[in-house]
Amino acid sequence: MEVRWIVFEPLRLGPPHKVFGLILTVLLAVWSAQALEMSVGKIPFLEAVNGSTVMLPCTYSSCIGIKNLYFNWQFNDNGTMQKVCESTIASEGVEPQVSIYRERVEFVGKNHDNNISILLWNITFEDGGQYTCFGRNPKEKDKNHSAIFNLIVVDELRVVDNTLTIIIASAVGGGIALLMGFMLLKNFTLFVLAKLEEKNKECLVTSSGIDNTENGLSGSKADSKPTPKKK
């Protein structure tokens, strides 16, 4: 019996600095996937009328959870960051005790669904500007992140001019109606032509029958007289 030996070659990882770089890249990717993230939604701005009440949204997320998560809201007042409110969330689902430093501000997040949004009552033009939602998670070695929300205060909401939209919709509707009318006319024309062709065929058959009758051919209605018998 023949015996075969299998020899495994050692894995070649390349120079040590390349191996270290690869490991560092993988670790950074894993770390980024677990990192704290603050979000103000898909539309990070709001246009509101002077004197109205608005909500500034913000939520946090972390793949490994939170512990003593610190967060705050800040307002950019002509380059100077003013703290609006702040608090620390002990763990998931715990409602924080929030310290508020600005008038007409109410914390409405309650930490339900990781929500740390705030409400601004009776806004004025001075309230317009950038608001930053900041968070820091000690469970991720104080990993922090922030998101910016822009509040625009106006006298009245702009009326959207729908003229162009109406023109486009009318043109599209007119084109569809024209196409449908053309299709109906085409089908009607084909129907009439088919009927005329059918009528012509009937006329040809009838005319052929009449000619045969007049010429005394087989199939005619004229009866031939019998040959008289010889006595």
Backbone angles phi, psi at 97, to 5 degrees: -95, 110
Determine which of 25-34, 39-48, 122-131 has the lowest per-residue pLDDT on average: 25-34
Q: How confident is the model at residue 41 (pLDDT cuts 50, 70, 90)?
A: very high
Q: Please tell me what DSSP assigns to residue 107.
A: E
Residue that wins the pLDDT comparison between 176 and 225 = 176
- pLDDT > 90 fraction of the chain, expressed in percent and rounded: 49
What pLDDT sits at residue 30?
44
Residue that wins the pLDDT comparison between 130 and 29 = 130
What pLDDT sits at residue 172?
81
Q: Are strands 143-154 and 45-49 parallel, antiparallel or unpaired?
A: parallel
Cα angle 133-115-43, degrees, rounded to a multiple of 5: 60
Quick: pLDDT tens for 127-156: 999 999 999 999 999 999 999 999 999 998
CB-neighbour burial class of residue 146 (10 A; exposed 0-12, middle 13-18, buried 19+): middle
pTM of the entire structure? 0.58
What pLDDT sits at residue 210?
55
Lookup: tokens for 82: 């003013």
Q: What is the secondary structure of 141-195 as a DSSP string? A: TSEEEEEEEEEEEESSPPPP--HHHHHHHHHHHHHHHHHHHHHHHHHHHHHHHHH
What pLDDT sits at residue 15?
65
Rounded Cα distance between 202 and 55, Å, is 81
Q: Which residues contact 89 (CB under 8 A, 6 or more apart)?
A: 66, 68, 69, 71, 96, 111, 116
Give the 3-state DSSP-derived string for 43-80, with helices as H, strands as E and coil as C: CCEEEEECCCCEEECCEEECCCCCCCEEEEEEEEECCE
Which of 98, 109, 115 has the alpha carbon at shortest distance from 61? 115
CB-neighbour burial class of residue 88 (10 A; exposed 0-12, middle 13-18, buried 19+): middle
Determine which of 7-16, 40-49, 216-225 has the lowest per-residue pLDDT on average: 216-225
